[in-house]
Amino acid sequence: MTEPVAVIGVGMHPWGKWGRNFVGYGLTAARAALDDAGVAWSDIDFVVGGETVRNGYGGYVAGSTMARALGWNGARVATCYAACASGSAAIEAARTRILAGLCDLALVVGADTTPKGFLAPNAGERWDDPDWLRFRLIGATNPAFFGMYARRRMDLYGADPADFAMVKVKNARHGLHNPNARYRGEVTAEEVAASPVVCDPLRLLDICATSDGAAAVVLSSIDTARRLGRGDVRIRAVSTVTPRFPNTALDLPDIATDSAASVAAPDQGFRPSIASAAYEEAGVGPDDLSLAEVYDLSTALELDWYEDIGLCAPGEAEKLLHAGDTTLGGRIPVNPSGGLACFGEAVPAQAIAQVCEVTWQLRGQAGARQVEGAQVGLTINQGLFGHGSCVILSR
Amino acid sequence: MTEAAPVIDGWFTTDSQPALIGRRCPECGTYQFPPTGEWCPNPACLSAVMVDTPLSRRGRVWSYTDAQYKPPPPFVAATEPFEPFAIAAVELRPENIVILGQVASGYGVADLHVGAEVELVIEPIDGSRALVWKWRPCGD
Ligand SMILES: [Zn+2]
C-alpha cells in the first residue's frame, strides 16, 4: 500500500455552455477550493493544470495560466495532458511531489470551454495523425466508438436499448439537486427512446454532451492536513496505467487494434487493468466501495464500467442496474453526482470533478444525493491513446 | 477525368481482389495496421524491420454502428444532403487484429451482427474520385 495524501479542499465552477474564457472558470474553481481548504494562495507551493487543447497557447500551459490568473506567487508549476485522463494525471503529479516531500500544499485545476457538437480534431491536413485520419478516412466520431461498444453488449450479452435508457433515467435523477450539474431535470425512458439515433444503437440522450466547466482540488501531506484540521479525506491510490501489449479491444481513436498473432492477449483487458492497479495500490477491493463515479460518455459505457471495476462479472451489469444496486439508496450507487449524463464533458476538468464529488460524499456534504455512511469511493475513466485514470479515496 | 486513386498511399491494393496492406515483423510475426510502423510493437521483440504484407480479405465483425449525423471535418460527405452510413470493426485471422472501416454502400446495421463475415471492397470515399476500403457483408 502507498502512503495516502489528503484532499483538504475542493471547488468547482458549475458546468454549462457559458461561452466564456476557460481561465475565468478555473479561477472560480481554484478560489473555491482554496477557500474550502482554508489556505491562502500564497501558501501553495505547487500548481498543476490540466491542459486544454482547444483554447490556444494559454490552454497548452494551463498550469502557469492559472498561476498567473491567481497572481504570480512563485509556486512551482506543471501542466498535464492525457486527454480525458488529464485531471488525474495532474492529481498524480501533485500527489507524487507531496509524497516525495518536495511540496507542502498543491493546487490542481482543470478548466475548459468546449465547442458545440461532436468533438473534432484540430484543423489542418495531418495525414500522419490517427485522430485526424479516423475522421477523414472513415468518419468515425467518438459516439461511433461508443455505439460499437454498446452494440457488443447487445449482441454478446443480450442487452437492450431500454437498459441503456434506464442508466440515463437513473443518472438524471441523481443529478437533480446537484448545483454544479448542467442538466437538472428528470428524463423518462420514453424521452430517451424518442430522441434521434446518433450512432446505432445509441440515441442523442444516451450520449453525453460537451460542456464548459472547471474543478480544482487542494492536496497536502497527511501531517499538514492534520495541522490544518482537515485530514478527513485521503487519496489512497491513483492509477495512470497504460495498456499491455497486445491491446485487443478497439480503443478511441485508433483505426486498428494491436495484433495478437505472436503474443496472446493479456488475461485482463486495459479497462479492468486500470481499476486493478488502483485496488492493489489502495489495498481495497470492489466490495469495499461505498460509491463510484464512472465515466458515462454513453449510457452503455457506464454498464461496461460496472464490470471493469469488478462490481459484477462481464455480462451482468444490466442485472445490477435492474436490481437498483447502482441507484442512490442501493448497494453501490454509481454516479451519485449525476455523472456525465448531467454534466456533459469538460475534458481537463472532468476527472478532477469526479474527485470533488467523492470528497463531498465522504465528508457527508452531498446533500440530497448523499450516499449514507460513505467510507470509500472510486473514480474511473480512460483517456485517448492509452491513458488510465482511477482514483480511490477513503475517509 | 483523372483515374480513380486511393485517398491515401500504400494502405490497400485496388486490383480485382483488393486487400489492406499491413506490416509484419519478420522476427516475431506480429502484424500492424496501418502500415506506418517502422519498428515492431511487440515489447518482447527488438526488430526494427517491418515488411509490407497484404492482410486477409475476409474477417468477422467485432462490432458495428452507423453515423446518422454528418461527422465534422475533415470528414467529407459523399452526398449532399448527407446520407447515413454504417461503420464496422472487423477481426482478421490469422493476423488477430481488428480494423475499422465504413460498410459498403447499400448496406446498413440491419445487415450486420457481431461475428458476421465481411469482405473487403474498394469504393469511392466521397463525391471525388478518391478510393477507400470498406467492409461488405457476405450475407451469412
Ligand atoms: Zn517483432
In tens, the pLDDT along A281-323 reads: 999 999 999 999 999 999 999 999 999 999 999 999 999 999 9
Sign of the torsion angle spanned by Cα atoms A338, A318, A142, B84: negative
CA A282/CA A277 separation, integer angstroms: 9
Q: Are A179 and A369 in contact (CB under 8 A)?
A: no
Helix/strand/coil for A369 = helix
CA A159/CA A171 separation, integer angstroms: 19
Q: Nearest C-alpha of chain A: how many angstroms from B49?
A: 16
Sketch out chain A's domains with CATH numbers.
Answer: 5-117+212-231 (3.40.47.10), 130-206+236-394 (3.40.47.10)
Chain A residues with CB under 8 Å of B25 CB are: 262
Q: Tell me the CB-side half-sphere exposure of residue A208, using CA atoms within 13 A.
A: 33
Q: What is the pLDDT of residue B140?
A: 66
If pLDDT is split at 50, 70 and 90, which confidence band does A118 have? low
Q: Where are the beta strands (DSSP E) in A24-163?
A: 46-50, 76-80, 105-112
pLDDT, average across residues A51-80 = 97
Contact yes or no for B71 and A258 at CB 8 A: no
Chain A residues with CB under 8 Å of B65 CB are: 144, 147-148, 150-151, 199-202
Sign of the torsion angle spanned by Cα atoms A10, A375, A87, A237: positive
Q: What is the pTM of this model?
A: 0.96
Q: Where are the beta strands (DSSP E) in chain B?
A: 5-6, 21-24, 31-32, 51-54, 58-67, 85-92, 97-103, 117-124, 130-137
- A30 contacts chain B (CB < 8 A): no
Q: Is residue A120 pLDDT above 80, yes or no? A: no
- A263 contacts chain B (CB < 8 A): yes
Q: What is the pLDDT of residue B129?
A: 82
In tens, the pLDDT along B6-26 reads: 999 999 999 999 999 999 999
Run of H or E residues at A155: helix A142-157
Give me the residue spans of the domains in chain B.
Answer: 57-137
Q: Nearest C-alpha of chain A: how many angstroms from B20?
A: 12
Out of A89-98, A153-162, A217-226, B120-129, pick the least confident.
Answer: B120-129
C-alpha B33 – ligand 1 centre gap (Å): 14
Nearest CB to A138 within list B62, B102, B115: B102
Chain A residues with CB under 8 Å of B6 CB are: none
Out of A208-212, A248-252, B15-19, B77-81, pick the least confident.
Answer: B77-81
Nearest CB to A138 within list B43, B95, B101: B101
- A253 contacts chain B (CB < 8 A): no
If pLDDT is split at 50, 70 and 90, which confidence band does B79 have? confident
Q: Is residue A1 pLDDT above 90, yes or no? A: no
Residue A104 amino acid letter = D
Nearest CB to B99 within list A123, A148, A255: A255
Q: Nearest C-alpha of chain A: how many angstroms from B18?
A: 17
Q: What is the pLDDT of residue A176?
A: 97
Out of A111-120, A121-130, A148-157, A374-383, pick the least confident.
Answer: A111-120
Chain B residues with CB under 8 Å of A140 CB are: 71, 87, 100
B-facing residues of A in 103-122 (CB < 8 A) are 117-118, 120-121
In tens, the pLDDT along A38-50 reads: 999 999 999 999 9
* Closest residue by Cα to residue A274 from A389, A386, A354, A361: A389
Sign of the torsion angle spanned by Cα atoms A353, A358, A361, A363: negative
If pLDDT is split at 50, 70 and 90, which confidence band does A37 have? very high
CA B9/CA B6 separation, integer angstroms: 6
Peptide bond into A201 cis (omega under 30): yes
Run of H or E residues at B62: strand B58-67
Q: What is the pLDDT of residue B2?
A: 60
* Closest residue by Cα to residue A304 from A182, A145, A193, A92: A145
Nearest CB to B44 within list A155, A257, A263: A263
Q: What is the pLDDT of residue B128?
A: 80
Question: Model ipTM?
Answer: 0.97
